[in-house]
């Protein structure tokens, strides 16, 4: 286990190009900086943000909306900062995704409600992702609200960037998370209305 100090010294001063150089990134990085940069690099391709599809599309941020409009025509879009995301037939068995687009402040947001089944229990996860970069998400906050008879459940957070995707947030319950019993408290005839409000926040 002898460390090669000479090699380490060299590697500590050598600069490597970003792996997305061919997509236009001009960054030159120390090997210690490389992974973090590439994870956040604006030239890293964006994947299709639709959950529950097998769409393998990838491209630049500018190409995402055109891709959605052409290849995922069935997704409804609502205009405005305050809308209702209506998920129908939430009692359908198995894993299901509900998806809607919301446009406001000159940006597009994808609303996702995902139902998973695990250990015979159903779990719901609702989240908002910005069609934009991680940096752009900091300008926004979203609020998801379920309203029932003398009951209210609210989740407020920063939108996820589609560059990160919703899966790790869902895995960490870093979203509005509820179970079937809660869904029953707030749904009517198997339909669940989620009030979605997007707002701009002061970036410090």
Q: 55 or 78, CB closer to Zn ion?
A: 55
Interaction between residue 199 and its own copies (CB under 8 A): no
What is the rounded (10 degree) CA torsion for 131, 136, 139, 142? 30
By CB atoms closer than 10 A (0-12, 13-18, 19+), residue 160 is: buried
Which of residues 156, 167, 190, 191 is near its own copies by CB under 8 A? 156
Q: Is residue 20 at the binding interface for Zn ion, with CB under 5 A as the rule? A: yes
For residues 186 and 194, the answer to whether their CB atoms sit within 8 Å is: no
Q: Judged by CB under 8 A, which of 150, 189, 202, 203 binds its own copies?
A: 150
- Is residue 47 close enough to count as binding Zn ion by CB under 5 A? no
Which residue, 15 or 152, is less far from its own copies as judged by CB? 152
**Residue from 8, 39, 82, 121 binding its own copies (CB under 8 A):** 121
User: Residue 139 binds which entry of Zn ion, its own copies, none, with Cβ cut-offs from 5 to 8 Å by kind?
Assistant: none
Three-state secondary structure call for residue 64: helix
Measured from the CB atom, is 46 or 178 closer to its own copies? 178
* Closest by Cα among 199, 195, 194 to 104: 199
Q: Is 31 in the site for its own copies (CB under 8 A)?
A: no
Examine residue 32 and tell whether it contacts its own copies (CB under 8 A).
Answer: no
Which of 157, 164, 165, 199 is close enough to bind its own copies by CB under 8 A?
157
Distance in angstroms (rounded) separating the CA atoms of residues 62 and 53: 21
Do the bridges between strand 96-104 and strand 77-79 make them parallel or antiparallel, or are there none, so unpaired?
parallel
Q: Is 84 in the site for its own copies (CB under 8 A)?
A: no
Residue 135 in contact with its own copies, rule: CB under 8 A: no
Number of Cβ within 10 Å of residue 11's Cβ equals 13
Determine if 18 is a binding residue for Zn ion (CB under 5 A). yes
Which listed residue (16, 47, 57, 177) binds Zn ion by CB under 5 A?
57
Task: Report yes or no: 15 and 28 within 8 Å, Cβ to Cβ.
Answer: yes
Q: Is 80 exposed, middle or buried (0-12, 13-18, 19+ CB in 10 A)?
A: exposed
Question: What is the binding site for its own copies (CB under 8 A)?
Answer: 119, 121, 141, 150-158, 171-174, 177-179, 181-182, 184-185
């Amino acid at each position: 286990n002898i460390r090669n100090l000479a090699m380490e010294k060299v590697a500590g001063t050598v600069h490597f190009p970003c792996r997305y150089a061919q997509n236009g990134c001009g960054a030159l990085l120390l090997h210690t900086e490389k992974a973090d940069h590439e994870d956040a690099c604006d030239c890293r391709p964006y994947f299709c943000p639709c959950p529950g599809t097998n769409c393998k599309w990838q491209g630049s941020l500018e190409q995402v909306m055109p891709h959605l409009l052409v290849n995922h025509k069935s997704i409804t879009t609502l205009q405005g900062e305050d809308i209702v995301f209506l998920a129908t037939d939430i009692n359908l068995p198995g894993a299901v995704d509900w998806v809607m687009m919301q446009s406001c402040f000159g940006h597009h947001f994808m609303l996702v409600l995902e139902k998973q089944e695990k250990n015979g229990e159903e779990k719901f996860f609702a989240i908002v992702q910005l069609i934009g970069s991680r940096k752009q998400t900091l300008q926004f906050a979203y609020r998801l609200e379920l309203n029932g008879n003398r009951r209210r459940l609210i989740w407020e957070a920063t939108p996820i960037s589609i560059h990160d995707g919703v899966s790790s947030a869902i895995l960490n319950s870093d979203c509005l998370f509820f179970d079937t019993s809660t869904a029953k408290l707030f749904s009517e005839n198997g339909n669940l209305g989620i009030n979605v409000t997007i707002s701009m926040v002061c970036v410090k």
